[in-house]
Amino acid sequence: MATLKTKIKLFLEANSKTWDKDKVSLQDNSDGNGTFIALWNYDGLEKPTDEQIASYETAGNTAEAAQAVLNKRAGEYKQLKEQLDLLYHDMVADKGDKTGEWFKHIKAVKDANPKE
Biggest CA-to-CA distance, the chain: 62
Give residue 20's pLDDT band: very low, low, confident or very high (50, 70, 90): very high
Residues 13, 105: Cα–Cα separation, whole Å: 34
What are the pLDDT digits (tens) for 72-85?
999 999 999 999 99
Q: State the pLDDT at residue 62.
A: 95
Residues 115, 5: Cα–Cα separation, whole Å: 21
**DSSP conformational letter for 55:** T
pLDDT at 13 over 90: yes
Domain ranges of the chain: 1-76, 77-116
Q: Which CATH class is domain 1-76?
A: alpha beta
**Section 28-45 average pLDDT:** 95
pLDDT at 90 over 90: yes
Name the amino acid, one letter, at 28.
Answer: D
Q: State the pLDDT at residue 115.
A: 86
Residue 17 CB contacts under 8 Å (≥ 6 apart), including other chains:
42, 45
pLDDT at 116 over 80: no
